[in-house]
Each structure stands twice: as structure tokens, then as C-alpha cells.
Amino acid sequence: MESFLIKGGVPLHGEVTISGSKNAALPIMAATLLTDEPCVIRHVPDLSDTRFMAQILQSLGATVKFKNGTLNVRANKIRGYADYDLVRKMRGSICIMGPLLGRLCKARVSLPGGCIIGARPINLHLKGFASLGAKIEIEGGYVDATAKKLAGSAVFLGGRAGSTVLGTANVMMAATLADGVTVIESAACEPEVVDLANFLNTMGAKISGAGGPTITITGVGRLHGAKYEVIPDRIETATFAIAAAATNGEIMIHGARADHLRAVLDKLNEAGVKIENRGGNLAVRRNGKLKSADVTTLPHPGFPTDVQAQLMALLALAPGISIITERIFESRFMHVSELARLGADIEIEGPSAIVKGGRPLSGAPVMASDLRASAALVIAGLAAKGTTQVNRIYHLDRGYENMDAKLRKLGARIQRVEENS
């Protein structure tokens, strides 16, 4: 297994270009299953998760070529069955279910199970499919969804923690080929849902309202092939901005979308980070000393759960008390005990982490537990004095394209090594 060895204390300087969004690319890749015609998707980040999704599409019968960020898919003839070994490795693969059901009127997909950040049920996805007329059966760890023909209907997708991103994506994809009109209420408003809707519309779907809580899908007889470019990754953008602030550096971020990051930019501003939009690029530097700030994660346009861990690493450096409340995933605080190994003073009280910031961090070996926790540990390691070894960075490789190379270009002393070297 590989680790990062980071010699911290070097302010980041220079320019970085943001890759395509992982969480937009995955459902867009799945959506190519809705047509038998070729699709070309550009700006797909080269990550273990996207490579894995490409394998899933192949295993379902599609021809896939993925090179230099461009994905060519042709799902001429496909089967509607995805087994446990495929789905368990990546929870996001559940988003193949909507397209399979939409195109074939049947899908048999292994239940994905939970992951380290929470239980991650799919009850809302299934409720949505059932509203479209699918019969749902769960047996032997598999969900079987079948229908003679899907029929549009009103679907309410609000759940315990609010909207569901992949649930909205799944129901929207299935509804594109249903008879009649589907209205999704309490839909997820994330930019990745908008990107998927834009791609589906490019394929000939009739979707309006994406980006707001009510999405209307008028079913069409068939979808055709399309060319499309994925939006930049807003979580990668936030991660680099926070890394620059944590090291007291100054960087220019190219290819990012500030309009996808309002809550993050607002919170960083409150924490003493100055971010300016200069001709579509984001200039990031500190605005004096870091300040404590309170934050609660919420569905979009609220503060994203996928930036909670990285912000915590930054607030550990800000003098004063910050309260970070996680409202989306029940156990997304695995990074707290690892940040403590670097000297951070953080206590967990129910869904909140109380960060007593301002203590100097010093390097230590730490263990990555999930994708965004890994990013938080890298940020803390870059800011800490001495050497930090972040182990199990395969978590990080799931969602950040060339993170070590991009950081090195910004002057960071970071190396990828074998864990025991």
C-alpha cells in the first residue's frame, strides 16, 4: 500500500488546474447506458472510482475507451445485472440502477451496503423507482426492480437528512424514458445533479428545474448519443483553497466554478481567507490571521459535507473555538482522532466537533479512513512542522486526480512511497 510522506511548513505558491468532477462524472458515465448510440464524455478525471465505473459499464456489455480524460462509451447491447463484487467496491455504482431500469425495464443490482462515513441506505432511490411503477423485491442481498413500462408520476424524495444526490440522479435517469411526466419534489440541488440533467438533455431528454427542489421530466421514446464536458470538481477546488490557506500560501486556481462554491467561499472568508474571482480564476490567500468559525453541513446550497474534514484541518489552526456540525452522514468524524495525532485539540459532542484551534501541529504517522478525511490529513500535514506520513492513500486516489503532483507543483514537499519504506 502507498503513503504520502509530507515535509510540512512550506507555504503553497503558484497555479493549479482543477480536474473534472468525480461526483458529476460517475452518474454521467452511468447515463450513457440509456442509449445504444456512442457517447463521448470529456474532462473525466482519471481516478480509481472513474476507472472502476468504466469497468462496470464494460461488465454490463458496453464498449468503453478511456484515455486522456476522454471517455468513449457505446452501450449497444447491455444486461441489467450487476453483482456484489462490482457494487460493493464503490457505493456510487448504485447510480447504474436508474439507467438500467429506464432502458431495460429491469435491473438486478446488489445492495451496496454501508461505508465508513455512515449507513447509506437506498430506501429513497427505491421509493422513487416504485413511484414510477417498478416492482421492487429484495432478496439475497440484491434489489430486483422490474416494470412492464415505467410511468411518470409525482415523487417526493426528501429523507431523514434532506435530499439525496444519487437518489435524485437515479430517479431522474429512469424517468427520462418513462411514459408521461415525472415531477421530483425535494430533489437534490447539487451542481452535479444539474450537470447530469444537462447531459441527459443533450441526449434528447426533456428535463427542467434541475438545480432547484422541483425537477420535471417529460418522458421521451428514446435517447441518442451525445458529446459532453463534465463540470470542474468543486470539492477539489475547495481542498486546494484550504491547503493554500492552511500553509499561509498564495495560489491561483484555474478552471474552477465559484458559483458552485458559495457556502464554502463565504465560510473561508469568515475564517480569514481571501478568495478573489479574477477573470474566472480564483486567487486565494490569507487575509491576516485565521479566525475561528462555526459551520453546519447541509445539502446544497449549504456547506457541503465533502469539505467538512478539510475545513476542520484549517480551523484546527485558527485561534479560538470552532463548532463543526455534521448533518449529512452520522459517522463522518473519523479524521478527528488522526488530526489529534498531529496535535489538534478536537472533541466530539454528538453530531458536532468542538475544535479548540490555534495549537501548532507537528508531523506524525496517520491513517486515512475515507476520501475526504485523507484530504484533511494531507492539509494538516502540509501545515504541520516536521514529517507526516499519511497511510492508506488509496482512499485519496479514489477522488483526487494527481493530488501529489499538483501539490508538488505548488512547492509542497510531498512524495508517494510504499507504506513500509
SS3 19: coil
Q: Which residues 6+ apart lie within 8 Å of 121 measured at CB?
A: none
Q: Where are the alpha helices (DSSP H) in 231-327?
A: 234-246, 262-270, 308-315
Give me the 165-194 binding string for ligand EPU, x by CB under 6 A, dash otherwise. xxx--------------------x------
Place of cell 473525466: 44
C-alpha 309/C-alpha 169 separation (Å) is 25
Rounded to whole angstroms, what are the CA distances from 265 to 282, 284, 319, 362, 377?
10, 10, 20, 27, 21
CB of 412 to ligand EPU, least distance (A): 22
Residue at 186: amino acid letter = S
* Smallest distance from ligand EPU to CB 404, Å: 18
CB of 165: closest distance to ligand EPU in angstroms? 3
Binders of ligand EPU in range 302-361 (CB under 6 A): 304-306, 328-329
Strands of the sheet with 365-367, listed across from one edge: 365-367, 387-391, 2-7, 413-418
Contacts of 78 (CB under 8 A, 6+ apart): 33, 60, 61, 62, 100, 103, 104
Q: 97 or 361, CB closer to ligand EPU?
A: 97
Q: Is 421 helix (H, G, I), strand (E, B) or coil?
A: coil
Separation of CA 35 from chain center:
25
Eight-class DSSP state of 398: T
Of 342 and 375, the one with the shorter C-beta distance to ligand EPU is 375
Cβ-based nearer residue to ligand EPU, 4 or 329: 329
Q: What does the block give as the cell for 137? A: 423485491
- Residue 301 is a binding residue for ligand EPU (CB under 6 A): no
Whether residue 54 contacts residue 29, with contact meaning beta carbons closer than 8 Å, is answered with yes
Helix intervals (H) in 247-389 = 262-270, 308-315, 335-341, 371-383
Number of H-type helices and E-type strands within the chain: 14, 24
Residue 189 catalytic? no
Task: Write the interaction track for ligand EPU spanning residues 65-104; mark x where CB under 6 A is met and - where it is not.
Answer: ---------------------------x------------
Quick one: 249 or 399, whose CB is closer to ligand EPU? 399
Question: Binding residue for ligand EPU (CB under 6 A) from 23, 198, 239, 310?
Answer: 23
Question: Least CB distance from residue 193 to ligand EPU, whole Å?
Answer: 9
Q: Which range of residues in 74-82, 103-111, 164-172, 281-289 is near ligand EPU by CB under 6 A?
A: 164-172
Residue with cell 438533455: 201
Please list every residue from 103 through 162 that binds ligand EPU, using CB under 6 A.
118, 120-125, 159-161
* Nearest residue (CB) to ligand EPU, 165 versus 256: 165
Which lies closer to ligand EPU via its Cβ, residue 35 or residue 186? 186
Give the span between the Cα atoms of 321 and 342, in whole angstroms.
18
Helix (H) or strand (E) holding 58: helix 48-59
Residues 26-65 that bind ligand EPU (CB under 6 A): 26
Binding string to ligand EPU for residues 365 to 384, with x set by CB under 6 A, is what? ------xx------------
Find the shortest distance in angstroms from Cβ 159 to ligand EPU.
4
Residue whose C-alpha is closest to residue 342's, from 395, 380, 396: 380
Q: Total residues contacting ligand EPU (rule CB under 6 A)?
A: 26
The residues of the shown chain that bind ligand EPU, judged by CB under 6 A, are: 23, 26, 92, 118, 120-125, 159-161, 164-167, 188, 304-306, 328-329, 371-372, 399
Active-site residue numbers?
115
